[in-house]
Structure 1
């Protein structure tokens, strides 16, 4: 902007000089000024004296300085933009490559935004994929790692480290896209857990056939929760408070019993004394074969690979985590406001 204004002022000064000092016509004055600033080498429109030639020399110098300034600023902006974009992409690639045991969110729409918000609240590493540039920018403005691309393509999933991920959430607006994404993810990493969004009951069945470990229909689930809230409001308030951590008192967490590091494997709940050691309550146990034991008794055996669903305060769950994995205990992920 500054360079353009300076060049316009130089053009105006040159035109006025030739018009009023040299006495030329307006068109001749403008033409002489333009040919002088452009340094094209045309001859003089009318003869010039020493004074006129000295002014023309000054005019050429002023024009060269103005045009050089404009070119310099344009080149600088172009180069800086190019390298800044390159640095941003390189930094983003390094961040993705550093992720391990992370989660992948495919689609940053209304559902994807809520999922990302929950993951962020619990400190879970994740990356977002969306084909819409505005959605990607919105995710990046929130501080999330976001990649623009088609989640149904293998190359896009490879870019976000599908082979190192532990879970993929397909929250794309189309059921077909979610199905393709689940199929691609399972092909590239058979061990990844896949959660898919479905719009219809038929899509739920097809996604399950396609390999999705869990399928959630916002309409079906939303209807059931609304009915439960109407029929059992206190139960729903209690469950919602635990699942989201909004009451900041109790939380629910699942623990996988690893035979190599868990000292209570092979013992009964009474022998393990988990309640007395941590204060946390064991609500249910899911066996490796999928069998769910609700309200386990003291005689229930703890077997390798069992998943225990427990409830307690943040501190009680941390103590339970240390009891179950004293050697390789990882930091228990709970909502940030509880830590």
Structure 2
């Protein structure tokens, strides 16, 4: 599994639920360096201004010696910091005007830079607290993705490409690199161990519709599944498994679906070796937005009563009463109202192959 973005530490020990939301701003170090350089520029400019106008100032401790460079530095620091001991003061009219219209605004700007940095830190924390509070208020029916490595990113990309709002996806991962990657993708992150109840609570698992678990360790996946199922008995859980032998244990733990990554990759490699053409087709089906795609859609009213083989889309399965039937199963010889179809279709809607359900057709699930 796998910071330049602002973070908010929720209550609790380190690693137990740090929430951070993406925000397109500069690094705090960049902002601090910029403020420091501006403060130094004001300081240096004021020193030079006083030094070149040394004849307009008098030192009460050495009235005959005039103002030196060290006196100019001293006067500038006590003046800009508003200390103002009064031992060095402008006596010439033009020096007093320079103090009134140049050094006084510089003093204000200097103080704003010093105080503003502290205020900005406090304000950013308050702003982040407010954003997280608002995020929690509107969070619900969302998707929690545990682990933001290669599998997690691919899962999120697939969700987004199929219409899922990025704001309704929450990442749970303990790594700082994962947090940076997720923030760059516009996703909220809860930093912490997904096997801990408090971390999952902060991710809103209790209100989530789906949880996708993609860590690289099967034992961590099992613990995460058990914890998620305890917090939300009704959530739909999809988990990855490195080893096929661990898939039954994950289903017993509460996962609705388990994808064995090593077996899937191995089968694809074997198919590609035996038949490069078939391997190309399989890869095409798994690649979003190009060529062919596998999708699930509602049955249209005009398709009720027809056999699956007669539809424009290539139907491979029919979902009826929460059960999946292959298209040739006698149970689904005729399609019924409320069925859902798993089809192979063009990834993009083409003039010669319009995508059903995209032209205001009436769905079989619509109320009469």
Q: When the two structures are superposed, what TM-score results if normalisation uses the length of structure 1?
A: 0.70
Q: For residue 163 of structure 1, give the secondary structure of its aligned residue in structure 2.
A: helix
Cross-structure match for 1:11: 47
C-alpha deviation, 1:322, in angstroms? 4.1
* Inter-partner Cα distance in structure 2 for 1:251 and 1:321: 21
| Structure 1 residues 201 and 96, CA gap change in structure 2 (3 angstroms) | same
Contact between 1:242 and 1:250, CA under 8 Å: does it hold in 2?
yes
* Inter-partner Cα distance in structure 1 for 2:65 and 2:189: 65
Q: Find out whether 1:127 has 2:153 as its counterpart.
A: no
Q: Which has the larger radius of gyration?
A: 1
* Inter-partner Cα distance in structure 2 for 1:116 and 1:49: 66
C-alpha deviation, 1:71, in angstroms? 1.9
After superposition, the CA RMSD in angstroms is 4.5
Contact between 1:111 and 1:171, CA under 8 Å: does it hold in 2?
yes
Q: Find out whether 1:169 has 2:212 as its counterpart.
A: yes
Give the number of the structure whose residues are more often helix, by fraction.
1
Spell out the pairing of 1:183-332 with structure 2 (5 A cutoff).
183-201=226-244, 203-248=246-291, 251-253=294-296, 272-273=305-306, 275=308, 278-285=311-318, 292-293=325-326, 295-297=328-330, 300=333, 308-312=341-345, 315-318=354-357, 322-327=362-367
| Structure 1 residues 224 and 58, CA gap change in structure 2 (3 angstroms) | same
| Structure 1 residues 134 and 187, CA gap change in structure 2 (3 angstroms) | same
Contact between 1:278 and 1:316, CA under 8 Å: does it hold in 2?
no
| Structure 1 residues 305 and 138, CA gap change in structure 2 (3 angstroms) | same
| Structure 1 residues 203 and 288, CA gap change in structure 2 (3 angstroms) | same
Spell out the pairing of 1:98-109 with structure 2 (5 A cutoff).
98=138, 100-109=140-149
- The aligned length equals 315
Unmatched tracts of structure 2, length 5 or more = 1-36, 58-63
C-alpha deviation, 1:186, in angstroms? 0.8
* Inter-partner Cα distance in structure 2 for 1:101 and 1:32: 63
| Structure 1 residues 321 and 54, CA gap change in structure 2 (3 angstroms) | closer
CA-to-aligned-CA distance 1:242-263 (integer Å, 9 cap, x gap): 44454445643265x9xxxx98
Contact between 2:169 and 2:187, CA under 8 Å: does it hold in 1?
yes
| Structure 1 residues 302 and 72, CA gap change in structure 2 (3 angstroms) | same
* Inter-partner Cα distance in structure 2 for 1:15 and 1:122: 68
Higher mean displacement: 21-30 or 205-214? 21-30
Cross-structure match for 1:332: none
